[in-house]
Each structure stands twice: as C-alpha cells, then as structure tokens.
Amino acid sequence: QVQLVESGGGLVQPGGSLRLSCAASGIILDYYAIVWFRQAPGKEREGVACISNSGGMTYYADSVKGRFTIARDNAKNTAYLQMNSLKPEDTAVYYCLAHLRGDGRCTITTPQAARYWGQGTQVTVSS
C-alpha cells in the first residue's frame, strides 16, 4: 500500500518559517518526481514547487520563488518544502504528490497518471 504522509504544517506569524515533510512508504522515491501543491479555500489548487527524481532539477511558481525551497532525501524516502518569509496569502492546505518520472525533470502541473497524493497538511499564516 502506497502512502505519502505530510507533516510540519501549523500556525505561524507573517515572516515566519515552516518546513513541511512528505514521507513515502510502499514506493521508492528514487523513481519519482515530487511536486508540492496548495489549495486555499475558494481557490483552485496551485502547484508551487517540484523536484526531479534525482534532485538535479527544481522549479518554483513565481508566487513562492526566493522564499520556498524544495529538497529531497532519497535515502530517507522523504521530500521537504522549506517555507520562509511566509505571508498570509500562503495560507492553504499543502499536498505532496509523487509522480513516476525518472527522466530527471519535473513540472508543477498535475500529472494525469502514475501519481500518488498525500492527505495534506494545513498551513495558516496569521498574526
């Protein structure tokens, strides 16, 4: 059974930081690109960052570029999203997705097949 479990969400003040984790079981992440998505109430789901299976390529949405950093530790079968300089507009449920893709590339669009979703973790940025 494949599981992706996100953790690390919570309530943080504007300007603060959080690190989200995405721990995988039942699959070997070496063969998967990882994409972080978020969805705020009343808004469409947005891809914010991705990292290729090898870690050699990363890509960020303009809304988070320079503030968020995606990383992975294949030995731990885990991916991360370091979020700094958080803003109220970053408030959302954050999801990780593993996409079976071993070509060393990634995109922040939603793949239609060969993917697994996590259950999401709430991030709230508020004073």
Q: What are the tens digits of pLDDT across the range 61-120? A: 999 999 999 999 999 999 999 999 999 999 999 999 999 998 999 999 998 888 999 999
Q: What are the tens digits of pLDDT across the range 7-59? A: 999 999 999 999 999 999 999 999 999 999 999 999 999 999 999 999 999 99
pLDDT band at residue 2 under the 50/70/90 scheme: very high
Beta strands in the chain (DSSP E): 3-7, 10-12, 18-25, 32-39, 46-51, 58-60, 68-73, 78-83, 92-100, 115-117, 121-125
Measuring CA to CA, which residue among 106, 102, 89, 126 is closest to residue 36? Answer: 106
Residue 78 three-state SS: strand
